[in-house]
Amino acid sequence: MATLMEEEARLAILKELAKEDNNAISSARMQIYLLTQLLIDKPREWVEAQYTFLKDMGAVTIVQADTVKIARLSQRGSMHLQNLISIPGVLCPTARG
């Protein structure tokens, strides 16, 4: 079972991906974002585990680029952000108010 921090981080990942012109961010850059914006201080491997969870749920696709992974928002991930569907293990966009 996912912790609230994991569910919140996964939502934050999807939201941040949606802000990018190409809907994609490397795990190294996302690690910095999670630390500076949400104070989630976790290693890059933890971020990549969240990417893998989101991939398994169909919310992102992942490309390996050298030593980092790049996640790209999928249509299913975008639908979750629009509250059209709910992805288990990912906080709902409206849950935080």
What is 64-80 written as a DSSP string?
Answer: EETTEEEEEE-HHHHHH
Pick the CATH number of 4-96 from 1.10.3720.10, 1.20.200.10, 1.20.120.530, 1.10.10.10: 1.10.10.10
Percent of the chain with pLDDT over 70: 95
Name the amino acid, one letter, at 30.
M
pTM for the predicted model, two decimal places: 0.93
Phi, psi dihedrals of residue 62, rounded to the nearest 5° = -125, 140
Does the pLDDT value for residue 85 go beyond 90?
Answer: yes
Domain ranges of the chain: 4-96
Using alpha carbons, select from 54, 48, 62, 60 the residue that is nearest to residue 88: 54
Contacts (Cβ under 8 Å, ≥6 apart) of 80: 14, 59, 86, 87, 90, 92, 93
Average pLDDT over residues 61-74: 96
